[in-house]
Structure 1
């Protein structure tokens, strides 16, 4: 199971089966109840995490306690890779949203592995460069895209990462997290709710009790992708 999860981690995307076996040897399993703070902004960066089950939000906050959600990680997602490389203080806080199981790798174990396996180190550096390009793209979106476009782009991103394709539709088998999405898109919750209502009216988004569905064909016929 660890190998299958590691295959989904972008940091290890180019590794061979035998290389993934080596990485799996330095992982450990952790279980946390809902609303557990895994680390706080400013803590030493010492651990990389892979979500086996559950979900984790990563956010920053100001002195008034107001939060800016940077991302929400679900099964198969990973976070904290920069801590493995530079060990600098955490730039954000991570908290479980529900009962969550993680596989973790410590910075010390990771550096020992890199020193012993240059072939693995080289492939990981390439993936870190790709991650930086993705971050640059997110900054571009926040700077140049309007609010509805940012919202739709993040819904599509969530669907691609966690959804199941069924013809022209993608089914995301988890509850729609409006607060997390508004944080990712950098918009106020009321703006998000207005856009979501419009998407519902166009039947681009439909909601169930514990899932939501994105109709790709209707999306590409809408003004949101023109």
Structure 2
């Protein structure tokens, strides 16, 4: 696979924003800056030096360049053409599928990012961290790690945000324990690495932010309910405080009046309030009311206890993630 080297003079534009390209560039020597036009203003996001790569997104898809790259001094680059890269992928079909998926994910973050809407920005950044870690990071003992310097540069070029902003947000995420910053002492130079200690939790957080960023998340369904805090608390009373409810032992029903009394005692909610909270759950098929012929009393029956348990766990995670988002926003305001 033959790659070409080319020398650019100071001030040359190697890549221009919103134009189509067919090559990626690896800096052999020199320095370039990455900028983007926002409104009527040109904003410089970062500088790249020897060993950095830019323009790599066009190797897999046909989307326009997301930023402009201009030389600050005489710069020598190796040009990796799309043709040569595609030849490599043809010889490695598995790599082709992986690169296409990852590129699409990163393009989605580029579309969604809006610095004025913090939830969108956190979704974009966490998505970028997660998919870059999967693509080019290291995995050890269930943890994913990625060089911090590489991540910050990719934030600047892909998300088109200022480096200092990306760095601040990563530090805020460290405070929430979603990630941590370690020092990689394996090489000749000590470098910081971003570590994702719990991959599944981090992916759940990304998915949670995706739902917060989406405009199509207004309708609840029978498969996944958006529970109010009160409804969640009432259901937790059922699962944790009503002795008759033991689904693992086959006991999926409780006396409704007894349950209403327990909710009133523990949560200080009236019977009318609790009954009103349950109406959507009856409508969506999560619960039903039957009559006990022997006692002529109402029975509250859970249709699918396993699904209820899963939904409560999901709701608990959402509450935890919302607290994380609120914390990130509070820190951003200070």
Q: TM-score, normalised by structure 1?
A: 0.49
Q: TM-score, normalised by structure 2?
A: 0.37
Larger radius of gyration: 2
